[in-house]
Amino acid sequence: MSAVDLGPLGFDHGGHLLVKRALRGVEVGDGVRVTGEHPALQVHLAAWCRGQGHPYRDGVVTRGTAELGRWSGAMRAGGVREVVDKPDARWGLAARGARVEAGSPEMRFALSDKDVVWADEAERLYAQGAAAQWDPATAIPWDAPIEHPEEVEDAVVQVMTYLIENEVAALLVPARFLAQVHPHFREVLQVLALQAADEARHIEVFTRRATLRRDAPGLSTHGGQASLKTLLDEPDFALASFLLSVMGEGSFLDLLWFLGEHGPDPITRAVATMSARDEARHVAFGMAHLQRHASKDPTLHGRLASAVQRRHDALQHTAGLNEEVFDALVLLAAGGWAPEQLATGWDRVAELVVRMDTKRRGRLARLGFDAEQAETLSSLHTRNFM
């Protein structure tokens, strides 16, 4: 017969752990003799055995069947590396691969179909994003000199104001769907959570740059707000991901690289460049998710096209990108007020718009749209860029 000596250790200080350990080493029906010096040991031991379903007599605990019965109806929540197509609602919040006790509450998640949410690249993109996190306090040279004229600073403030509201929308969209994804798809949860964290950081640095030499940000227009509202109003995960990540953030990424090149000071260039690196991952996840989804659902292309058309129709009477933002971009790209400089700035912004269109068509082609469809859909994208 096995034996365990608790010494002076009482059950009220963890003695039960040694008894449980000893019982795991014997078969059901076999006994473990328990000895110890604590004055209340026998009383506590007898009470504990009644609660655990183990027979007890004269210092001997016989291993009962209650523990085994408790887990007899348990189910395995997939495998640690196995992502199932439709996880059971009874798995709830359990870690993938864990044994889930029978009777655990069902938890219904709207996004519980692998074909709707999954991307094979999710794990890699999360690891890459987690490793690339940066601290706004140290990654941006906030003390760098700002030597450009006040009118150029006004242009920077207006562009930053525009970036802020776009990034607020880009934070809210993944945050809204995050809580709808079944926890079994943990890599997708992690990517969406990291994406929201990235956007929160972008909002911080854009706000700090906008107010570095001004008391308040610039202008927010009806057209810009209306354009972003359509992203928040889209209830379908795939369509919202498409409109935000593929159509919107893809173009937004070109804008950030543009500001990284033509920003008038080191601070502006740094906040744009650092943010662009994050946005590139967001676009990559959106593309990977939708490419896989399209391969599983032959109706997806039609729904994506309809979403673009529906958004265009809703926004056709709005101004889109406000004049102040466009003019500010021209001035930043010009670098000065001389007529020849402004002509160069105008050409650079026009080239940016063309580059946005070209890359949008490229992304659409990679999703399976033919050249004519890609050209049409790209042309219908909101004039607000995002």
Tokens (6 digits) for 226: 């209306």
pLDDT band at 197 (very low <50, low <70, confident <90, very high): very high
CA 384 to CA 314: how far, in whole Å? 13
> Average model confidence (pLDDT) for the chain?
95
Greatest alpha-carbon span in the chain = 102
Beta pairing partners, 76: 99
3-class secondary structure, 217: coil
Mean pLDDT along residues 169-188: 97
Per-domain boundaries in the chain: 2-69, 75-108, 114-379
Burial 133-170 (b: 16+ CB within 10 A, else e): eeeeeeebebeeeeebeeebbbbbbbbbbbbbbbbbbb
pLDDT band at 319 (very low <50, low <70, confident <90, very high): low
Mean pLDDT along residues 168-189: 97
pLDDT, position 118: 97
CA 51 to CA 55: how far, in whole Å? 10
Q: Which conformational region is residue 107 in: left (phi greater than 0), alpha (psi within -120 to 50 degrees), or beta?
A: beta
CA 335 to CA 314: how far, in whole Å? 36
Per-residue pLDDT tens for 8-49?
A: 999 989 999 999 999 999 999 999 999 999 999 999 999 999
Q: CA angle 197-205-238, nearest 5°?
A: 40
109: Cβ contacts below 8 Å, ≥ 6 apart: 89, 180, 181, 182, 183
Domain 2-69 shares a fold with domain 114-379: no
Tokens (6 digits) for 69: 């019965």
Q: Which conformational region is residue 2 in: left (phi greater than 0), alpha (psi within -120 to 50 degrees), or beta?
A: beta
Beta pairing partners, 2: 32
Superfamily for domain range 2-69 = TusA-like domain (3.30.110.40)
Task: From 180, 182, 184, select the one nearest 95 (Cα to Cα).
Answer: 184
Amino acid found at 278? D
114-379: what CATH class?
Answer: mainly alpha
C-alpha dist (Å) from residue 199 to 29, 202, 343, 361, 362: 59, 5, 34, 25, 25
The distance from CA 343 to its chain's CA centroid, rounded to whole angstroms, is 41
Asked if residues 152 and 264 have their Cβ atoms less than 8 Å apart, the reply is yes
Per-residue pLDDT tens for 69-92?
A: 788 888 899 888 899 999 999 999
